[in-house]
Amino acid sequence: MTMNWDDTNLEATLQAYLDRTLDDAARQDFECLLNEHDELRQRVQLQQQMDAALLRLFPLPGISEHDPAASLARSNAPRSIHASPPQEQQHDTLVTDRAGRAKVGRRRLFWAVAAVLAWMAVFWHFFGRKADAPYFEQRSLALLYHESVDSGFEPYYDCHEPGRFASTFQQRQGRPLRLAEMPDGTRMLGLSYPGGFTRNTTAILCEVDQQPVIVFVDRLTDDNRRLSSCKEAGLHIFRQELNGLVLYEVSPWPNRRVLDFLQLADVQGRPLP
């Protein structure tokens, strides 16, 4: 009986073909179907390659290199589906025994791989996460300023509540900060995290007389004055140290307009005595 692509027994037949348990007529019928359907043929070839790789990683006792039931899976390249295997005159019980051992071998491979993957997942969970941090590169403060302005000067975080503002710097830089009341024409838009000295560098986006100003904040131990050098006309960078923090104001104005309003605070954002 000719086999169809939508045959409900197709999956079982595919597994039997891989296990070399089909009789000659069923095998030839299935290989005709493989010749007609690229998707099914590619699936069989991929499974054969996987079986070969697994057997190389997890060799099974009782399945030798010369066992016809295992030779297909041990091959580096998938067997051509156009050529029928040589007909060997073997006793039916011997063929059945070898085919049965091949099926058991496939099951053992499955559970062996599943166990290895499970142990890999446990190992990664406890020991591997810290090594997976994304790559970070220090970048010029002037370059970050222009990128922020060119992208619309929109903050990542609208952070005007004193407590949330202070806790953000507590978590990222280890020191809570507060922003004192600013004069007319000067306002904070929010916080951004564009990088800079470290991946934790925090940027305060402000608007001063309708001009964008950014204050970059990080730990003093991570300061890199090379990143704050600026020879660009019309752009100025001002530096300030504050109890273990370093702050840089990047501005088109020739004098500092925001730094003086940043103060140490408690975790609720209240000024320290």
- For the chain, how many residues are written? 273
Q: pTM for the complete prediction?
A: 0.54
Residues whose CB falls within 8 Å of the CB of residue 225, separated by 6 or more in sequence, listed in order: 239
Characterize 86-102 residue by residue with b for buried, 16 or more Cβ atoms within 10 angstroms of its Cβ, and e for exposed.
eeeeeeeeebeebbebb
Q: What is the pLDDT of residue 74?
A: 44
Q: What is the pLDDT of residue 266?
A: 96
Q: What is the pLDDT of residue 128?
A: 56
- φ and ψ at residue 191, rounded to 5 degrees: -110, 150
What average pLDDT values come out for the chain (273 residues) when binned by 10 residues?
57 83 85 80 82 66 47 42 47 49 59 66 57 79 96 93 95 96 96 95 98 98 94 94 97 97 95 88
Can you say whether residue 217 is alpha, beta or left, with left for phi > 0 and alpha for psi between -120 and 50 degrees? beta
Q: What is the pLDDT of residue 177?
A: 97
Could you tell me where the beta strands, DSSP code E, fall in 46-173?
A: none
Q: Is 231 helix (H, G, I), strand (E, B) or coil?
A: coil
Count of CB atoms within 10 A of residue 188's CB?
20
Q: Is 260 helix (H, G, I), strand (E, B) or coil?
A: helix
